[in-house]
Structure 1
Amino acid sequence: MPQPKPPSARPRPWPALPLPLLLLLPLLAACKDEVQAARPAAPPPVSVIRLQPESVPIRTTLPGRTAAYQVAEIRPQVSGLLQEKLFREGMAVEAGQPLYQIDPAPYRAALASAEASQARAEAMLQDARATTSRYRPLVGQNAVSRMSYDKAVAAQAQAEAEVAAARAAVQAARIDLDRTRITSPIAGRTSRSNLTVGALVTASQATELLTVTQLDPILVDVTQPAEALLRLRREIQAGRLQREGEDAVEVRLTLGDGSEYPLPGRLQFAEATVDRDTGAVTLRAVFPNPEGMLLPGLFVRARLEAGTAREALLVPQQAVTRNTRGEATALVVDEQGVVRQRVVETERAVGSQWLVSAGLAAGERVVVQGAQRVREGVKPEVREITRQELEQGGGPALAAMRARG
């Protein structure tokens, strides 16, 4: 059987309050609410950044593809039997390095025949000169007729022409013999060979033997809308942007996998015409490629500096909102500590900030945190922070705002 609890363990009843005190409790609670309602509310806390003019590099990111700096299609310039392949497919070759050897025997024979013809023509020239030399003094003595002398002079001129033709034939035969050894006209990397040893090739045939591609440096062709290029030129002419020159424009690459190419390039030129199909202008940049990382045909994104905006004002993007009319607006705290709303004009995004061209002035304080707590005409509790503190999470100002709720 359960044992009864001792009297000390039983709960004590609440003491009974007098009836007049019970009637006063609602009145005391009402008075407390009135006192709390009459107490003035604390001003809402906001964080602001003071705008300072600065020089801002304006960068443009454009899509593009890589292209080989030079491509040489190797074709034979003489006909014959392909006797030897002197390279390994895919290897790097230097300018003038031998690639193929065509059977040189027929061309050596042709050169020997041309040299013999040249020797015969030179012998005939020597005889013609001797005859002319003998006839020259005899003409004055009437020992030789004038007609005979004239024929000797003409024969000498004909012999000189035959010697010149024979020398040209020897030179042509030597060139053909040299062309039996096919060399690379440029430095680059070889492709696969389309023909093997033993194949019969013909001069200037349609099918190339192989291609040699120069990869260092390498080209990057990017496209920019014509309207963007015109706007950029107007800003430069108006003085809002400054550029040192086309040769000074540095270009950076982002590869297809999102990685950054480590070496910078330089803008080479811009096309003088607009593509009718796309309405874009092609820009070409040159990049060093010593390791061969970039191959022709890769899709890349090129980031180039369009110019430098002097005395520019940058506003964090979280400080700019849209009103019901779709206009960009920002809240500022004036010198009297009152919140004012401004309609601003944003030109472009620069990282996580807007480049503002109108609506704000240097030295003004823009609300970057707590904008949802205030409205125009309110005097908030203002805490000025730096841009670095904002990027790091707001610093002590934001911590104080969170503590106050």
Structure 2
Amino acid sequence: MRLFARNAAADAAPPVPGSPARRWTRRLALPAAVALAASLAACGRKEAPPPAPRPVVAMPAQADASLPAWTLPGEVQARYSTPLSFRVGGKIIERQVRLGDTVAPGQIVARLDPADAAKNAAAARAALSAAQHQFDYARQQLDRDRAQARENLIAATQLEQTRNAYASALAQRDQAAQQAALAADQLKYTTLQADHAGVITAEEADTGQNVSAGTPVYQLAWSGDVDALCDVPESVLAGLAIGQRASVTLGPLPGQTFGAVLREIAPAADPQSRTYRAKLTLESPSPEVRLGMTANISFDNRSANGRATYTVPATALFHEGREPAVWIVKPEEDTLELRRVQVLRYDARTVTLSQGVAAGERVVWQGVHTVSAGEKVRPVPPLHPEDFAS
């Protein structure tokens, strides 16, 4: 009985740490625990479904058949317009033309009081006459002294003095001649003549007024080439190039359209309006075209560099740093790519792109600030495409 009791007690007692029984117990319990945990985890965890692609409004890019037309207000002006002014100062005593008169080359348009200029011219002529007399005397004296020197009748130093007097008289004669010519020109300048044929467009001095040299008396618009002038905003400037064609309509001449060619763009903007002055030459203007007429200038609807352009809503424009960019939906992957573009022109509701987009590529039209690069999307068309039209 004692032996049985001791064996039973031994079986009931826990294994001693480090004993073989203890080690076998741990070896059997560990795999069971791992299997139990794995089975519990498999029962409690389910695979999370992938996020649904975000719907974005995107449309394939289509090359513009022609750029959206823009029309700028302008006015008709002569290609060349110069002020007419006296080259000397004085008092205006006569004006022979008035505002709007047509003048011919060389026609006298105004006169100054010539009294002072005439006196200066007379004094210069008198000085020239005296210098000429001194020169003639010195020449005759030189001829006599040369003849006497050949006969050894005078000393060599006297001949040298005569030659010196002759050279001085010659220089004085030439100086007096130039002074007389200048005085004659000053007298001629008291008469104002038109240099070119044209029309008087402004009167800036009146009879009896004292004017200085260079003060404008008239404004003369030359006959010949006629220009149409307009102020171009910065948003349109990138689409213009020298030689580009345009059509011009004039308010007072309804129903008539004139061709024009862009010949000049101001290199700097006006400091007040921040616009650039553009000048276009009208081709074959009719006699009814008058200076100062109001004009509507419509530029030819073509890209300045001949490349295809793409017009997208203004809401599609994003940025990459300081450069403009748009979101492109990659084909097959339907993921987003941010791509830099070059904007040819900005309009009220659209932008025209000249680089960065190819035909058929899907461009995100809305929500460009809520997406990110590489994001999976689902392109959808706009509900009302007409809302994005220019």
TM-score when scaled to structure 2?
Answer: 0.54
Alignment map for 1:221-300 (pairs within 5 Å): 221-230=229-238, 232=239, 246-247=242-243, 249-256=244-251, 259=254, 261-274=256-269, 280-287=275-282, 289=285, 291=287, 293-296=289-292, 299-300=294-295
- Percent identical pairs in the alignment equals 18
Which residue does 2:213 correspond to in 1?
Answer: 204
- Seen in structure 2, the aligned counterparts of structure 1 residues 310 and 360 have a Cα distance that, compared at 3 Å, is farther
Which residue does 1:95 correspond to in 2?
Answer: 105
Which residue does 2:228 correspond to in 1?
Answer: 220
Letter of the aligned partner of 1:293 in structure 2?
A: V
- Seen in structure 2, the aligned counterparts of structure 1 residues 359 and 135 have a Cα distance that, compared at 3 Å, is closer
- Seen in structure 2, the aligned counterparts of structure 1 residues 149 and 312 have a Cα distance that, compared at 3 Å, is closer
**Contact kept in structure 2, 1:58 and 1:305, CA below 8 Å:** no
Which segments of 5 or more consecutive residues in structure 1 lack a partner in the other structure? Answer: 1-51, 234-244, 323-346, 350-354, 362-375, 377-405
CA distance in 2 between partners of 1:126 and 1:172 (Å) = 23
Alignment map for 1:6-405 (pairs within 5 Å): 56=66, 59-139=69-149, 142-191=152-201, 193=203, 197=207, 199=208, 201-204=210-213, 206=215, 208-214=216-222, 216-230=224-238, 232=239, 246-247=242-243, 249-256=244-251, 259=254, 261-274=256-269, 280-287=275-282, 289=285, 291=287, 293-296=289-292, 299-305=294-300, 307=302
> Aligned with 1:149: secondary structure?
helix
- Seen in structure 2, the aligned counterparts of structure 1 residues 76 and 129 have a Cα distance that, compared at 3 Å, is same
**Contact kept in structure 2, 1:93 and 1:188, CA below 8 Å:** yes
Deviation per CA, 1:275-334: give whole Å up to 9, x if none: 5665544332122555363433x553311225369897999xxxx9x9xxxxxxxxxxxx
TM superposition shift of 1:268: 0.5
TM superposition shift of 1:60: 4.1
**Contact kept in structure 1, 2:102 and 2:197, CA below 8 Å:** yes
CA distance in 1 between partners of 2:96 and 2:290 (Å) = 27
**Contact kept in structure 2, 1:79 and 1:200, CA below 8 Å:** no
Which residue does 1:339 correspond to in 2?
Answer: none
**Max Rg structure:** 2
TM superposition shift of 1:121: 1.3
**Contact kept in structure 2, 1:270 and 1:284, CA below 8 Å:** yes
- Seen in structure 2, the aligned counterparts of structure 1 residues 223 and 108 have a Cα distance that, compared at 3 Å, is closer
Deviation per CA, 1:363-390: give whole Å up to 9, x if none: xxxxxxxxxxxxx9xxxxxxxxxxxxxx
- What is the number of residues matched between the two proteins? 269
**Contact kept in structure 2, 1:252 and 1:261, CA below 8 Å:** no
Which residue does 1:380 correspond to in 2?
Answer: none
CA distance in 2 between partners of 1:142 and 1:160 (Å) = 26
Which segments of 5 or more consecutive residues in structure 2 lack a partner in the other structure? Answer: 1-61, 316-343, 347-351, 362-379, 381-390
Letter of the aligned partner of 1:112 in structure 2?
A: A
